[in-house]
């Protein structure tokens, strides 16, 4: 069987994500693998597919015991024979798994790293036929990484104990140094190396000026009532406050932070995982354990300390590859607060690094460069397109306005006061404030005093930030930092260069990438069914089907198992286990909303053959050509491997676009008259009324055809 056949049969996917195929083939050929792939890149498939195809056992090392059960449930739902061994199990359960192992009935065994250090475990593995070992979160083996776990060091023995068994190491974060370290510690033998792009094209990045955060969050949530998402805040107190505010406003939001008891944290996480609550307000303590693929938004209520953290947290959105939104609410005050903490760091080198990281983050939030480009640049990756099309900068939500004159006011105040004063005082001068300091230094006698009375002080503070950002002025490193002109600022002050400032356009859209037409109502019903099944089986909903899969169902309205199998994400096992339940929901919905269902099926469900989405135009032209050759609806349907309803929908569309057909080619005249009469008698356009009134004599397609011809004749 080819890898593509296996991919379709087991996972129900038509194609690999980038790098997956290379990894799968390397493992099938017994070669070591080292892969850096971003979250959501589809790492698990890389080892699950070969584990299924190869003879022998694949051991998966995964650091989080709390996730293992979900991972195993997900693998089982896909039809893989998977089990786990960890300290949360009782002796009976462990013996059951051991029995299965001895009988070679397991493809995938998930274990924690410390198991390798346990006496006897290596011996058990040696008695079995091993296919390969997959190591998840492999960066945990490196002391150079941000997440070192001593337990992982036990894994360095694997290659010595099993010289013939391939090892595949996966991670979502690894610098060059960590990468070398992993390869060396695990003793990988000229591995197939993958360093995937860190670009997450389905994420939309947006930065919003923070004004009244809770209100801003509420507005976002009201606009996205059915979506799951995470709101990050820095402190426990702010987490509590935001969660409480949202609850008062009727939003079901739960808090998550290190101050809650273990049980509470676990409960809240589980409720989120199981779609029982849409929103979690959390500190960054909420993260590692989230395996949920349908997180639709991640909002940062406060500025993250560094780009790496920001990338990781936003990375939890949209793992299923569907559009997701990342909103950062930015205020300069946050940067100042973080700066304050950095100032407390005693070790100078550490302090310097922290400051550099903060500066990167602030630049990302404030610059007028594509956010995606900035993020990728941080990871040393160049984004080649001029415009990513999925961030606020590229979508023109922020604009650059000329602010040369205002910039000159600030810089003139700095210049005239000899570069000896800080930002607050300079802003006060320009805004014409009446402070003791201003009187003391006679700054109310300056020419620039009050030159900016028309704007409030906040505006002038922002202007100073922007001037700093763009290098027109510099701030000293002292305890009381003062502002001074830089060369670039001099140019602007002398009117030789313009100064442009970034400003948000009035209405801030919350944009999501277009996902094409689907029935939102059916999608919601499918979600409800998914939740019901998930509860019944005690697994998280995404284990059953992803949002993407449900959305495709709500787009193509499959009515039988054969067409259901064409939906991406519906493999053999899931079709067998869950297919009937979802088909029933689609069937019932279709009957109750015939009109809508027909509209949707314009998007063609081929009856057999591989599903390739052709451009809409091409399929109409094919139908048109057959119609011109005089074929009936049934003949066309047979010829094209489509259901008659789709052909009729094509004809209707073609007629709307001005094509003319001979009505007798498609329908018997007597029947046509009967149908016309029904439409007229009931003074309706609704197909369902006519079909119902005919008491079974008229099919839905027939009514639709006649309606199309009637509409044409009306002109």
Q: Which residues bind Zn ion (CB under 5 A)?
A: 370, 372, 388, 391, 394
Distances (CA, A) of 304 to 146, 312, 315, 386: 16, 11, 14, 26
Report H helices in 192-255: 213-223, 236-248
What string marks each residue from 41 to 60 as x (binds ligand ADP by CB under 6 A) or -?
xxxxx---------------
Give the number of residues in contact with ligand ADP, rule: CB under 6 A: 18
What are 646's two structure tokens?
């789709």
**Cβ proximity to ligand ADP, 37 vs 169, nearer residue:** 37
Distance in Å, CB of 415 to ligand ADP, minimum:
53
Closer by beta carbon to ligand ADP, 568 or else 604: 568
Which CB, 452 or 571, lies closer to ligand ADP?
A: 571
The entry of ligand ADP, Zn ion, none that residue 370 binds, CB within 5 to 8 Å by partner kind: Zn ion
Q: Which is nearer to ligand ADP, 77 or 631 (CB)?
A: 77
**Position 579 contacts ligand ADP (CB under 6 A):** no
Pick what 17 binds: Zn ion, ligand ADP, none; C-beta below 5 to 8 Å, kind-dependent.
ligand ADP
Query: Cβ 292 to ligand ADP, closest distance in Å?
Result: 10
Shortest Cβ 550–ligand ADP spacing (Å): 12
Question: Considering beta carbons, is residue 16 or 110 the nearer one to ligand ADP?
Answer: 16
234 binds, among Zn ion, ligand ADP, none (CB under 5 to 8 A by kind): none
**For ligand ADP, which stretch binds (CB under 6 A), given 118-126, 315-323, 389-397, 554-562?**
315-323
Name the minimum Å distance from CB 99 to ligand ADP.
29
State the first-to-last Cα distance of the chain, in angstroms, to the nearest integer. Answer: 57
Spatial separation of the C-alpha atoms in residues 58 and 74, rounded to whole Å: 16
Stretch that binds ligand ADP, among 36-44, 86-94, 204-212, 626-634 (CB under 6 A): 36-44
On whether the CB atoms of residues 653 and 620 are closer than 8 A, the answer is yes
Q: Which is nearer to ligand ADP, 13 or 330 (CB)?
A: 13
Q: How far is the CB of 611 from ligand ADP (least distance, A)?
A: 13
Strands 192-195, 228-232: parallel, antiparallel or unpaired by DSSP?
Answer: unpaired
Residue 293 binds ligand ADP (CB under 6 A): yes
The interface partner of residue 301, options being ligand ADP, Zn ion, none and the CB cut-off 5 to 8 Å by kind, is: none
- Residue 69 binding ligand ADP, by CB under 6 A: no
Q: CA geometry: angle at 37 spanning 394 and 357, to 5°?
A: 60
The binder of 179, among ligand ADP, Zn ion, none, by C-beta within 5 to 8 A per type, is none
| Total residues found in the chain within this entry | 715
Token pair belonging to 199: 């670009």
Helices (H), 403-475: 404-416, 423-431, 436-440, 457-469
Distance of closest approach, residue 11 Cβ to ligand ADP, in angstroms: 7
- 57 DSSP β-pair partners: 130
Write a three-state SS string for 525-578: HHHHHHHHHHHHHCCCHHHCCCHHHHHHHHHHCCCCHHHHCCCCCCCHHHHHHH
Q: Among 381, 403, 402, 385, which Cα is nearest to 394's?
A: 385
Burial label, 181 (beta-carbon count in 10 A; 0-12, 13-18, 19+): buried
79 lies in the binding site for ligand ADP (CB under 6 A): no
Cβ nearer to ligand ADP, comparing 38 with 579: 38
Question: Under rule CB under 6 A, which residues in 321-350 are in contact with ligand ADP?
Answer: 321
- What does 63 bind: ligand ADP, Zn ion, none (CB cut-off 5 to 8 Å by kind)? none
Our finding on whether 37 is near ligand ADP (CB under 6 A) is yes
Strand 398-402 with 500-504, pairing:
antiparallel
Please state the closest distance from residue 39 (CB atom) to ligand ADP, in A. 4
What is the closest distance, in whole angstroms, from the C-beta atom of residue 36 to Zn ion in the complex?
23
- Find which of Zn ion, ligand ADP, none residue 207 binds, CB within 5 to 8 Å per kind: none
Residue 43: which of ligand ADP, Zn ion, none does it interact with, CB under 5 to 8 A by kind? ligand ADP
Least separation, in Å, of the C-beta of 106 and ligand ADP? 20
388 binds, among ligand ADP, Zn ion, none (CB under 5 to 8 A by kind): Zn ion
CB count within 10 Å of CB 682 equals 13
* Separation CA 268–CA 10 (nearest Å): 32
Smallest distance from Zn ion to CB 217, Å: 23
Q: What does 545 bind: Zn ion, ligand ADP, none (CB cut-off 5 to 8 Å by kind)?
A: none
Q: Considering the complex, state which of residue 16 and residue 499 has its C-beta at the smaller distance from ligand ADP.
A: 16
Class of residue 244 by CB neighbours under 10 A (exposed 0-12, middle 13-18, buried 19+): middle
Nearest to 213 by CA among 243, 192, 250, 251: 243
Which pair of structure tokens corresponds to residue 404?
Answer: 């040369």
Residue 320 lies near ligand ADP (rule: CB under 6 A): yes
Contacts of 138 (CB under 8 A, 6+ apart): 34, 152, 169, 170, 171, 174, 182, 186
Looking at beta carbons, which residue is closest to ligand ADP?
Answer: 42
Give me the least distance between CB of 392 and Zn ion, in Å please: 8
Mention every residue, 6+ apart, whose C-beta is less than 8 A from residue 703. 675, 687, 690, 691, 694
Q: Which is nearer to ligand ADP, 171 or 283 (CB)?
A: 171
Exactly one of 10, 13, 397, 666 binds ligand ADP (CB under 6 A); that residue is 13
Does 17 interact with ligand ADP (rule: CB under 6 A)?
A: yes
Tokens describing residue 352 = 């310097």
Could you tell me if 129 and 105 are in contact, meaning their C-beta atoms sit under 8 angstroms apart? Answer: no
Phi (first) and psi of residue 292, to 5 degrees: -70, 130
Asked whether 651 and 685 are in contact (CB, 8 A), the reply is no
DSSP secondary structure string, 655-696?
HHTT----HHHHS-HHHHHHHHHHHHHTT---HHHHHHHTTT
Asked if 40 touches ligand ADP (CB under 6 A), the answer is: yes
| Per CB under 6 A, 551 contacts ligand ADP | no
Choose from ligand ADP, Zn ion, none: what does 228 bind? Cβ within 5-8 Å by kind: none
Quote the CA–CA distance of 622 and 646 in Å, as a whole number: 12
Question: Six-digit token pair at 212?
Answer: 């009244």
Nearer to ligand ADP, 76 or 503 (CB): 76
CB contact at 8 A, 208 and 53: no
Q: Where do contacts with ligand ADP occur on this chain (CB under 6 A)?
A: 13, 16-17, 20, 37, 39-45, 293, 319-321, 546, 568
């Amino acid at each position: 069987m080819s890898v593509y056949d296996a991919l379709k049969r087991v996972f129900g996917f038509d194609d690999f994500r980038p790098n997956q195929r290379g990894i799968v083939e390397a493992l099938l050929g017994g070669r070591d693998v080292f892969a850096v792939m971003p979250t959501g890149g589809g790492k698990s498939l890389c080892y699950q597919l070969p584990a299924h195809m190869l003879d022998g056992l694949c051991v998966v090392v995964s650091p989080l015991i709390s996730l293992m059960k979900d991972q195993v449930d997900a693998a089982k739902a896909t039809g893989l024979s998977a089990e786990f061994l960890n300290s949360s199990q009782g002796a009976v359960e462990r013996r059951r798994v051991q029995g299965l192992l001895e009988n070679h009935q397991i493809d995938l065994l998930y274990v924690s790293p410390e198991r390798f250090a346990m006496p006897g475990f290596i011996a058990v593995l040696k008695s079995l036929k091993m296919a390969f070992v997959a190591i998840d979160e492999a960066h945990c083996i490196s002391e150079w990484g941000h997440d070192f776990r001593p337990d992982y060091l036990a894994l360095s023995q694997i290659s010595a104990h099993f010289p013939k068994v391939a090892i595949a190491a996966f991670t979502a974060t690894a610098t060059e140094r960590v990468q070398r370290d992993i390869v060396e510690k695990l003793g990988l033998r000229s591995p197939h190396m993958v360093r995937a792009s860190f670009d997450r094209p389905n994420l939309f990045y947006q930065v919003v000026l923070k004004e009244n955060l809770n209100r801003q969050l509420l507005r976002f949530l009201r606009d996205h009532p059915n979506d799951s998402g995470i709101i990050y805040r820095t402190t426990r107190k702010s987490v509590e406050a935001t969660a409480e505010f949202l609850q008062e406003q009727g939003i079901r939001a739960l808090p998550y932070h290190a101050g809650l008891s273990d049980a509470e944290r676990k409960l809240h996480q589980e409720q989120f995982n199981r779609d029982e609550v849409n929103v979690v307000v959390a500190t960054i303590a909420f993260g590692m354990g989230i395996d949920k693929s349908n997180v639709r938004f991640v909002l940062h209520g406060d500025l993250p300390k560094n780009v790496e953290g920001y990338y990781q947290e936003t990375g939890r959105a949209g793992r299923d590859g569907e559009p997701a939104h990342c909103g950062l609410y930015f205020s300069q005050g946050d940067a100042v607060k973080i700066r304050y903490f950095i100032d407390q760091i005693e070790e100078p080198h550490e302090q310097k690094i922290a400051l550099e990281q903060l500066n990167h983050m602030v630049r990302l939030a404030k610059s007028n460069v594509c956010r995606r480009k900035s993020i990728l640049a941080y990871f040393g990756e160049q984004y080649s397109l001029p415009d990513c099309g999925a961030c606020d900068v590229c979508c023109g939500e922020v604009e650059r306005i000329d602010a040369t004159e205002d910039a000159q006011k600030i810089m003139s105040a700095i210049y005239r006061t000899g570069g000896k004063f800080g930002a607050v005082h300079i802003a006060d001068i320009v805004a014409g404030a009446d402070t003791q300091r201003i009187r003391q230094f006679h700054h109310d006698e300056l020419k620039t005093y009050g030159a900016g009375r028309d704007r409030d002080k906040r505006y002038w503070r922002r202007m100073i930030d922007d001037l700093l950002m763009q290098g027109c002025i510099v701030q000293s490193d002292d305890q009381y930092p003062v502002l001074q002109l830089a060369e670039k600022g001099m140019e602007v002050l002398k009117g030789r260069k313009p100064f442009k400032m970034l400003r948000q356009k009035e209405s801030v859209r919350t944009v999501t990438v277009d996902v094409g037409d689907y029935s939102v109502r059916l999608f919601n019903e499918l979600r409800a069914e998914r939740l019901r099944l998930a509860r019944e089986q005690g697994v998280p909903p995404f284990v059953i089907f992803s949002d993407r899969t449900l959305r495709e169902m709500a787009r193509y309205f499959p009515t039988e198992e054969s067409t259901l199998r064409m939906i991406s994400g519906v493999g053999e096992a899931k079709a067998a286990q869950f297919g009937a339940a979802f088909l029933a929901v689609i069937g019932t919905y279709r009957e109750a909303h015939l009109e809508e269902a027909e509209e949707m099926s314009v998007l063609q469900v081929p009856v057999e053959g591989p599903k390739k989405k052709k451009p809409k135009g091409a399929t109409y032209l094919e139908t048109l050509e057959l119609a011109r050759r005089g074929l009936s609806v049934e003949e066309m349907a047979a010829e094209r491997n489509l259901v008659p309803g789709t052909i009729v929908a094509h004809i209707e569309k073609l007629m709307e676009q001005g094509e003319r057909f001979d009505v007798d080619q498609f329908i018997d005249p007597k029947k046509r008259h009967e149908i016309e009469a029904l439409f007229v008698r009931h003074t309706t356009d609704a197909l369902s009324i006519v079909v119902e009134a005919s008491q079974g004599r008229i099919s839905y397609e027939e009514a639709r055809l006649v309606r199309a011809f009637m509409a044409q004749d009306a002109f």
